[in-house]
A and B are shown apart, each in its own frame.
Chain A
Amino acid sequence: MYPLGGDKTVSEQIQVVSIETDVLVIGGGLAGCMAAIKAVEHGVKVVIAEKANTENSGCAGTGIDHSWAYVPPVHEPLGYTFDDLMQDHIQGSSGGLVRKDLLRLVAGNNYSRMLDIEKFGVKMRYADSPLPGNLRIVPQFHSVPTSINFDGRYIKLRLTRQAKKRGVDIYNRVMVTELLTYDGEIAGALGVGIRDGNIYLFRANAIVLSTGRSNRMTRSASGPRHNLRVPAEDTGDGKAMALRAGVGVINMELLTGLWFNIGGNEINLGSPRNTTQPAGSITGVKGEVFVPRTRFYDWSRLGKEKINAADVRRQWIESRTGAFRDYFALRRQGKGPFFLDLTGGTEEEIQYAEWSISHEAKGYWWLDYLANQENFDFRTDKLEYLPNTRELSIAQAGGVVVDRNLETAVKGLYAAGDEVGGLPFSSSPGAFSMGWHSGDLAAQRAGRQNALPPVKEEPVAALKQLCLSMIDRKVGFHWTQLELAVQNIVDYYCGDERSENYLKRGLERLAQLRSETPLKAENPHELGRCLEVRSIIENAEMVIRASLERKESRKQPSRFTRADYPEQDDANYLCFLCQQKIDGEVKFSKIAV
């Protein structure tokens, strides 16, 4: 770590660490770990480069309690076919804006992936379950229950151990920032050690890009910098480097506005139809009901009587149309404040919700905080719903363009999980299924190559120079200062309602800010944060450019509002807007759904 003192300059202290591998996985979250675990089955060398520590990183770093799947032993006797799930997801979950080929891959494989995860040590069967296989399955994303609830608190630890047991090499605290190509094919990647300050040069015949969501483009709704529902370390590094390498990126315009959820600690409890079901409801100070509670699914018909899936889907889609609660609009009418209310639940229902929360991200610690620091009890107390930070996630499905086999425009560069664009509610099913499939294909490709492609000197020297420019600088700004200025721009010029003049001004101001704000890094940790701000700016530019390109407004679930184009225009815009660098310039094209 510099400064090490002594008579070595910083430039002399920075080593270039060269690593050769068959498959490189960039980002060791759920998708990346699954990719590595599968790839190494082929007997090839597999490396994961992770900017944090794979044991507790990414969206599932502190747990996950649910993953949707088509579960034949349950859904077939129910009378719900695979095609029913596809239709639910296309019409209901996605509003038509969906990559059907990726949906087929994920929906068709996630049950198998859950069985793999069970083999890796994750418990998902319970003696009190009435279902075949003793699974716990609840309604969440589709017209019938498809979400498997399970003990996912330590899933990242299980996946890390499985990967290491199989011989995967994991480089933690290495932030990859650059992809290297040769003749249109992948050749490797460059990263920076955020503890040792070294440059890492990876040479590989196949790469899986899985760096997750793009966060921190907007201010935290509550103030404390990294108080986000999603992991603050995920800054869209993958999309930024993919765009620079010539890969297309879609759906960036779908960055949301502020939205209502648990206030204070931003935590993934979602609407009452998610982790706090079935007792969860939204009520006001005097008990007025804004979102009613539900019931556990009645499984008693299973094996006796099949549902009419088409009817069930129609009713579900109708109910979804009015289901979105615009809490800001309600507040303007003087309604609220709003509270998550489980006080009407039975003891069994509340214990189910507490179990679920304890396995969901941040939930285990959060329950301890609620009980011991706030003396809170779901049985008697309610939690207020307040504005949460804007996101590009879940329904928004912003990410890189891949073919049906998860390969990008750069041959040998695959992508998986939330890195990939076009599948709303991809989340963990996308991570598990796309991770596995991309790892499989990446390893097969690597196995066909005779040698590693060459890498040029210039990118290595350029990255070293970029790092040195931030370290050696005598006077410069702390990374937090630039990040705040970027967030101000995205929040104001690219807010809830967008229009051409504001978006163009936002882009101009971003460009000016970027060129006029020299950053100073005191050490490798700060250097990593400075490089994250570069990713944040590049993702923000993608968001604003794409917002300019989408000349329409769109209703839920892919909500997008242009004040100057207030109508939805399916004829021209029920499609993905793809931005891609061609001859050094970002150009847009339409990709049909």
Chain B
Amino acid sequence: MYPPVVFDEIECNGCNICVDICPMDIFGPNPVKGKPPIVLYGDECRYCGACWMRCARRKNHALRIVVPPAMRVSILRNVSTRRR
């Protein structure tokens, strides 16, 4: 399956904090030090965002959570004439 979490090979420095704290234990450390973790159990992700919250490099998109279609919210857009 398309993994729930995608790492950027350059931005992620392999600190493995996401591996340490994931409540569902879906990650394993990369055998190569400094490389991004491996998603071992992608279908067990609970999309809590803990990995994203704890990632020191999330602003550089070192880690991105990808929401599967069945979990996307359903939006009714632009119902108000208010400007953003």
Give chain A's interface residues, CB within 8 Å of chain B.
52-53, 55-58, 61-62, 153, 173, 194-195, 222-228, 231-233, 262-265, 285, 287, 339, 341, 343, 361-362, 364-366, 368-370, 373-374, 376-377, 379-384, 386, 525, 528-529
Contacts and interface: CB of A to CB of B under 8 A. Distances in A.
A62 B50 CA distance: 6
The 9 A-B pairs with the shortest beta carbon distances in the complex, nearest first, are A365-B49, A384-B74, A226-B46, A56-B50, A264-B73, A343-B80, A52-B23, A382-B76, A56-B21
Given A56-B23, A381-B79, A384-B73, 18 more contacts: A52-B22, A52-B23, A52-B24, A61-B50, A222-B71, A224-B43, A226-B46, A227-B47, A264-B72, A265-B72, A339-B76, A364-B53, A379-B82, A380-B77, A381-B76, A382-B76, A525-B25, A525-B41
A374 B49 CA distance: 16
Interface string B21-52: 11111000000000000001101111111101
A265 B47 contact: yes
A6 B5 CA distance: 34
Contacts of B84: 377, 379-380
Contact of A382 (B48, B54, B79): B79
B80 A379 contact: yes
B5 to A, nearest CB: 11
Contacts of A361: 48
Interface size bucket, B side? 35 or more
Nearest to B19: A53
Nearest to A265: B71
A61 B48 contact: yes
A380 B80 contact: yes
Contacts of B77: 380-381
Interface string B56-84: 00000000010110111111111110101
Contact of A233 (B23, B52, B65, B76): B23
A225 B73 contact: no
A379 to B, nearest CB: 6
Contact of B75 (A343, A366, A383): A383
A53 B48 CA distance: 14
Contacts of B45: 226
Given A231-B23, A376-B73, A382-B75, A369 B67 contact: yes
Given A232-B46, A381-B78, A262 B73 contact: yes
Chain A binding surface, main DSSP class: loop
B53 to A, nearest CB: 6
Given A225-B44, A366-B49, A374-B73, A380 B25 contact: no
B20 interface: yes
Contacts of B65: 365, 369
Contacts of B20: 53, 55
A396 to B, nearest CB: 21
Q: Which of B25, B48, B52, B68 has the most CB of A within 10 A?
A: B48
Given A232-B46, A377-B84, A61 B70 contact: no
A525 B25 CA distance: 8
